[in-house]
Amino acid sequence: MKKDGLEEIAERWLSEARERGLSKVQDDYWSRVFPLVKERFVEDNRGRIGSYNALILTLGTSPQPLILVLEALRPQKVYFLYTPETEQHLSRVIKEVDYLRNHEIAYDRDRIDADNPLELYEKVGRKWMEWSRNPRCLCALCNTGGKKSMVSASAVAAYFLGMDLIYVDHSEYVEDLRIPKPGTEYLTVLPNPLVAMGELKLKEAKSLFNAGNFEMSLRVLGQIGEELRGRYALPVGTMVGVLSELVQGYSYWDRFHYGKAKEKLESALRKVIQFDLGIDVTQLEKNLRALEHLSLEKRGQSLFSVLRDEPIFGFRLAVDLYLNSLRKAEAGLPDDAVVRLYRCLELVAQLRLSQVPEKMGGPFNTDNFEWRKLDRRIMARYLEVSAQIYKRAWRNPDPERMPTDVGLMAGHILLFSMGDPLWKGKTVTDLGNFHAAIKKRNELMLVHGKKRAADGDVATLASHAETFLRELSRDFSAPWDEVLEEHTYVIL
């Protein structure tokens, strides 16, 4: 029936109630008016069906609000709390709600003393503990019915347990009959303030994480955890726990503690899947593939031996340094970015020299370079190119007197002299430009000088690094775009 039909029937019934008295027209209300009220209420709240898995309701002397809520939300679990004075109205609720009347779902009920809030806390808490064993269970409490003491106590219980409060209100009240005007009822959902504030802070924690500020993100998550301590404020409580593990994992990763990062993220991934928290599972799985490679480093072994035996680790570590530097630059830390890019470029040379075959004198350890093993023609080329780059000739080119600690630039000059594919098609001028770019690192406050890096310094070094890493990705048959994805942190 149209809405204006409800208004007409409601007005006629109110007139009869004024003439004959409310008690005389109750049967007419239940047979002619309330079905239309229920129809409108359900239609107005159609989008809320199934929004809660479980519902706790306090019952007063008016069963109508409970019936309306149950019809509109249609939860899978229902629990009634009533008093000796209101027990008689429970049968009307059951009769009017089809899925309760037809035993389509089981419902529980308990009688309580309305003036004993501790009893209500105990009953609500016990039922919540039972239902919350299922982490997907989202529960609400409807406290429209009952004495003021019950309403207040149930609101406190909902606050501590992290449940939304539901209330059936009305827009018009019939003063002379002291009843809501039929058809003006509407549903009010009061989100739990503890959960609502927790969700605001969750957004802050996620934003901090996405900006690369892992320590502050963890601090905010810790604050939320303190506020939720001793309460079961799901889903916020669950999300906080999982996010804390995630952020810790990426914080370890950002600080190059790959084993700890892998352990944390594996644990977090299991929970993300279990609780269906809306976090990008596919990207997490890709990140763990990157950590599989990054965890190949063996404790107690020198970097040279690891690069020689597990070159894929060296490649992945260089990629990680590259992306780590880009995150620092994006966070407004260009000096940190340059330092990491310098290390990335140095590692590229170390990796390539560790893979020089024996027939060419390799493999070579840049921490203890054995110049006497280097082919004399390559040695001559190295000395010639070095003189051009540094604008000075070697005084004592005797292999026995050469420095055994080979740094970034010396490493790349060696690769250039060997004809390494990384420098294929490049000239000494290109090598000189490369040298000019990396010299910026030595002038930084963080290293030997007093200057600060500019965005252009970061871009130049990043361009060199990407060029080398793209070439290396072909050597390892690892598509560059896929490698980048695996090393790119998830977005929360």
pLDDT (mean) for 199-227: 85
Q: Domain 3-191's class?
A: alpha beta
d(CA 469, CA 318): 8
Percent of the chain residues past pLDDT 70, beyond the cut: 93
Cβ(417)–Cβ(378) under 8 Å?
Answer: yes
174 forms beta bridges with 179
Query: Could you tell me which residue, 366 or 117, shows the higher pLDDT?
Result: 366
- In the block, tokens 């303190």 appear at 226
pLDDT of residue 229: 61
β-pair type (173-174, 107-111): unpaired
467, amino acid identity:
T
Query: How many residues would you count in the chain?
Result: 492
pLDDT at 4 exceeding the cut of 60: no
Question: What is the number of alpha carbons within 13 Å of residue 275 lying toward its C-beta?
Answer: 23
pLDDT (mean) for 29-33: 92
Residue 169: left if φ>0, alpha if ψ -120 to 50, beta else—which one? beta
Identify the three-state secondary structure at position 487.
helix
pLDDT of residue 198: 64
pLDDT tens sequence across 39-70: 999 999 988 888 899 999 999 999 999 999 99
Chain centroid to CA 408: how far?
38
**67-95 as b/e, with b when 16 or more CB fall inside 10 Å?**
bbbbbbbbbebbbbbbbeebeebbebbbe
Indicate the average pLDDT of the chain: 89
Residue 446 pLDDT level (bands cut at 50, 70, 90): low
Task: Find, among 448, 453, 452, 381, the residue nearest to 419 by Cα.
Answer: 381
Which range (157-171, 353-367, 472-486) has the least confidence?
157-171
Task: Find, among 27, 1, 3, the residue nearest to 13 by Cα.
Answer: 27
pLDDT tens sequence across 235-267: 566 788 889 999 999 999 999 999 999 999 999
pLDDT of residue 77: 93
Sheet of 185-190: strand order equals: 107-111, 77-82, 54-58, 139-142, 164-170, 185-190
Cα–Cα distances (Å) from 270 to 116, 223, 398, in that order, read 43, 24, 59
pLDDT of residue 283: 97
Query: Could you tell me which residue, 234 or 357, shows the higher pLDDT?
Result: 357
pLDDT at 274 exceeding the cut of 70: yes
Q: Where in the chain is the domain with CATH 3.40.50.10770?
A: 3-191
d(CA 80, CA 100): 12
pLDDT of residue 131: 87
pLDDT at 294 exceeding the cut of 80: yes
Which range (68-72, 237-241, 323-327, 415-419) has the least confidence?
237-241
pLDDT at 3 exceeding the cut of 50: no
Its pTM surpasses 0.85: no
pLDDT of residue 108: 94
Residue 73 pLDDT level (bands cut at 50, 70, 90): very high
pLDDT (mean) for 454-479: 94
pLDDT of residue 163: 83
d(CA 492, CA 239): 11
Residue 92 pLDDT level (bands cut at 50, 70, 90): very high
pLDDT at 234 exceeding the cut of 70: no
pLDDT of residue 300: 79
pLDDT of residue 246: 96
pLDDT of residue 1: 39
- E-only strand ranges, 17-89: 54-58, 77-82
pLDDT at 119 exceeding the cut of 60: yes
pLDDT at 467 exceeding the cut of 80: yes
